[in-house]
Structure 1
Amino acid sequence: MGLPRQLLVARNQWFVKLALVCFVLLMLLSVSVNWEVLQQKSNLEADANKLPVLERIDTLPFLEQYVHEVAAQQPGYDPRTPVCAPKTLAVDAITYHEPQDGSFYSLLKARKDRPVSPPIFTDQHSVLCYEEWGITKVWDYCLPISGRKDEPHCSEADRMDLLHGDDDDNEWLDSICYASVLHMLLIDVYEEIRALGRKPAVLYGTLLGAVRNESIIPYTEDADIGYQQDQTSAHDLWDLKMALWAKGYHMFYSTLWRVCVSPTHPLASQLYNSKLPLINLTYAVPYVDLYLMEPESFGSDVYWSIDEIRNNRLVYDAKVVPYSHVRINGREFDTVRDVKEFLRREYGDEYMEPIPR
């Protein structure tokens, strides 16, 4: 025997109210989860008109004519297709935090036979010419870059490998190692964080590669750097974003702060892969993940919280500081004090054994 009509109506009304309550709770949760993202985006949009005035390449004669001549050499070029070149940064005007003699950028500046030139963007990629648009974007303002991840070709990949290429050498473009670009990103981002007093430390996969082989793991997708907070900064990491922007890097917030190569980088024309679509660049280009490291006091004890750490565990103070050191491609980097314990907790007792791919 069925329920009386009044009970059926009351039950249905109860279900409707329950559904509404669940919907409201989900909306509140969504707002809470995305609040930080919205806040970061709001900060960026508010300051988009405060981009520093940077020195650009301005010695290339007849730039507009050059752009169209280069574009016309591409297969299937249509003169009605949008075409442009970004305002590539002048490498001679950039200040890098490394020794002046024999370094990567001093060698790049010395390449008089192959001066820096801008990449040429056509069709959907033409939006990459607009920095004011790009500063508020996430993955879609990263320079489309591809690279090899196979061993042994990329087992000892180094940023110095990037100095041997040519803008028009497609064979060289196909031989670029992902890890070579990551090595360049790692050093530049790490040194900029250190210059700003935020005490960088290599973590996770980057630390794992350093311990295993003192190199970047060839098949890894990113580099991992921890940083400590500067409580005096008006905008969270805005100073770092602008410092990296001035070197040709795009820093953006997507669940974490991340950094990729921007279209204005001095090596953009050599690294750019015109075959990659912009809509599929999420986690598909070389990038750096930045992880906030914060000490927290519990009575007389101090523990550290580190973004993305396994099981959200807290790490005892003596396991983190003072920092220890590891080497990557002959260069020293700071990291957590107890490296073995950190890697064992993250990757298991067999962390020294690479997982077959």
Structure 2
Amino acid sequence: MSPVLELTHDLIARRSVTPEDAGCLPLIADRLARLGFRIEHLRFGDVDNLWATHGTGGPVLAFLGHTDVVPSGPEEHWATPPFEPTEKGGMLYGRGAADMKGSVAAMVVALERFVAMDPGHAGTVGLLLTSDEEGVALHGVREVVEHFNKTGQRIDHCVVGEPSAKAQLGDLIRVGRRGSLSLTLTVHGIQGHVAYPEKAKNPIHAFAPALAALAAERWDEGNADFPPTSFQVSNINAGTGANNVIPGELIALVNWRFSTASSADGLRARAEAILEARGVDYAAEWHLSGLPFLAAPGGRLRGVVADVCRELCGIDPEQSTGGGTSDGRFIAPMGAEVIELGPVNATIHKVDECVSIADLERLPDLYEAICRRMLT
């Protein structure tokens, strides 16, 4: 069994459902410490984080990943137990195989190879891992970056191991991500009997015209790097369960995925103006989980990662800003160039999550090549 496959097996077998790490980080820290990496265990709240570095000075190239996974869902729905790594038909099955214990293992193996071959390399290479990416992400990389800002730790370039590929390793890299702005909207009404609507105020009826306007709004046109901003309602809840009661309150969960063509403050102001213009009595709780970021065309890391995919995977990668958010949103504001490169994402968060064994065994080669080109 190859080193990357063996380590991925070991990581999958650890039931590290967010925010639990289940011993993944100490395992990795011990391996890297033996090669002279400086190890910092950073625990914030109930979250474990690891920052392992080798070398001195700049540039600082960081690899970023997470050891936590989403819940498996009903285990009886899986063909094989989710926390028992299973090889079948050229695939490795298990929760976290693609998102992202396979990438974490590949990063570790790549760093071991790189440092063993070039212990006096230029600059600094680091590995930043957290057990709080799939959850609320308050005490993971977000808080690590706050710590770095206080201590003066810089990151110049960052490779995130999120599963980026569509059909085969190297066919797509993320060169940026949209921002995410969420709203918990409470619409106030007056509860009453459906037969006496004049004595009540139905929040569903009050919200309906505003919702139609919000859904029809063209928030922006996007730009050369990003698609237009999208607006989605993920949940609406109102009512007592009885068909003869007008509810007194409605709660809606809303999200904008926005590009650099819009700002969070601008979206908020426009949304509130739509609500107020339609006379909605509401309370709004806003949450900005990340701003959009982009690795500029011509950036050194962006060029290196694209070249590595062309040369080692035989494919010219699509350079995309699509998808959801990642912990890269916390690193980019440090002034770092952030690129995401990982395995195929077709089964992430699904029952029977899996990764191609062939892709997994090639992934350390890509990460090691990036190290060599950035730090030699």
User: For the superposition of Structure 1 and Structure 2, which TM-score range results when normalised by the shorter chain?
Assistant: under 0.3
- State the structure with bigger RCO (CA 8 A, min sep 6), 1 or 2: 2
Indicate the structure with greater helix content. Answer: 1
Indicate the structure with greater strand content. Answer: 2
